[in-house]
A = this chain, B = another copy of it.
Amino acid sequence: MRLTTKGRFAVTAMLDLALRQENGPVTLSGVAERQRISLSYLEQLFGKLRRQELVASVRGPGGGYCLARDMSTISVADIIAAVDEPMDATQCGGKENCHDEHRCMTHDLWSSLSQRMFDYLNSVTLHDLMTQQRERTSHRVVLHERDARHAAPDAVEVQF
């Protein structure tokens, strides 16, 4: 499991989505502007996120992206795996770079290590990240209710 800025961008963008989807679909251009990520790059990432069915898209004016599942069921590992595709980890599918008994050593070592890395990332959900972030900040939080899905009639400025 690689941990690169690519995955970071994806998680950041997904968090932005999570925080704003109550007002309906969120446009990529909005995410791009707020998070300072190139729009075209976001399009690439969200193409993958959509194919992994982490987000759903709505075309046309007023369209954008929504989370495809409840945010408590979307883990950081899901997001990173979606954009960082291979997630190979062991690097030697039984072929070269490994030989004799040494093969097993390296192989088992890394698969167990990356398994635990994965387990951790898999245990952190988008919902956790939101909650965690809101607890940490002392900024004004206009939108504070946790389960009020349709509580915002107009555009609500969420500061976080």
Question: Is residue A5 contacting chain B, with contact meaning CB distance below 8 A?
Answer: yes
Residues facing B in A62-93 (CB within 8 A) are 76, 91
Contact between A110 and B1, CB atoms less than 8 A apart = no
A-B pairs with the 9 shortest C-beta distances?
A36-B97, A105-B160, A12-B106, A101-B159, A3-B3, A101-B139, A5-B91, A105-B133, A108-B136
Complex Cα spacing A58 to B1, Å:
35
Q: List 19 A-B contacts (CB under 8 A).
A: A1-B3, A2-B2, A3-B114, A5-B91, A8-B91, A12-B109, A15-B105, A15-B109, A35-B102, A36-B97, A101-B137, A102-B160, A104-B137, A105-B133, A105-B160, A109-B133, A112-B132, A117-B120, A120-B120
Copies in the complex: 2
Q: How many residues of A contact B (CB 8 A)?
A: 41
Chain A residues with a Cβ under 8 A of chain B: 1-5, 8, 11-12, 15, 34-36, 76, 91, 96-99, 101-102, 104-106, 108-110, 112-114, 116-117, 120, 124, 129, 132-133, 136-137, 139, 159-160
A105 surroundings in chain B (CB, below 8 A): 15, 133, 137, 160
A129 surroundings in chain B (CB, below 8 A): 109
Complex Cα spacing A88 to B87, Å:
21
Contact between A117 and B3, CB atoms less than 8 A apart = yes
Contact between A34 and B3, CB atoms less than 8 A apart = no
A97 smallest CB distance to B (angstroms): 5
